[in-house]
Amino acid sequence: MKKIKYEINGTFIDIEVSDEVAQHYEQIETEEKRIKRKETRRHQSLETLVESGFQIADPKGDIEERALQNDDVEQLRKALKVLTEDQKWLIEQVFYYGRKQSEVAAELGIDPTAIRNRLRKIYDKIKKSFQ
């Protein structure tokens, strides 16, 4: 007869079992430890990494970059204000909804070249407002 340590609700107790049961129990324990070790080597939890001193860069953390982006967005908003309603609609259809220029041209009953020319004029207008 052998004694094994068995855990119940966080409390360890010694149980006397036959040699065969003890041997199987040790094999199961060894296999569980091997699997746990294997899993923890492959997968690191975020909490464990942070507790060990690993620092994760916050993509929103670069204040200077965010400020520049906010300035660009504000400039673009101002630039869009100089466009006519038709120009705003065209920009919305092509860039926001991702429609093809040929689709928009067909809807308006005009040649796709006219859409390209209109977009070129819009680009020029926006460029001028950025300068």
- Burial (CB count <10 Å: 0-12, 13-18, 19+), residue 84: exposed
Q: What local confidence, expressed as pLDDT, does residue 15 receive? A: 83
Q: Are 116 and 108 in contact (CB under 8 A)?
A: no
pLDDT at 65: 74
pLDDT band at 60 (very low <50, low <70, confident <90, very high): low
In CATH terms, 63-130 corresponds, of 3.40.190.10, 3.30.420.40, 3.30.559.10, 1.10.10.10, to 1.10.10.10
Q: Is residue 43 very low, low, confident or very high in pLDDT (cuts 50, 70, 90)?
A: low
In this predicted structure, what is the pLDDT of residue 8? 82
- For the cut 70, the answer to whether the pLDDT of residue 123 exceeds it is yes
- Per domain, the residue ranges of the chain are 2-51, 63-130
Which has the higher per-residue pLDDT, 112 or 72? 112
Q: What is the pLDDT of residue 51?
A: 77
Mean pLDDT in the chain? 84
Q: CA–CA separation, 62 vs 59, rounded Å?
A: 7
Where is 58: in which H helix or E strand? none
Using CB atoms within 10 A of its CB, is residue 115 exposed (0-12), middle (13-18) or buried (19+)?
A: buried
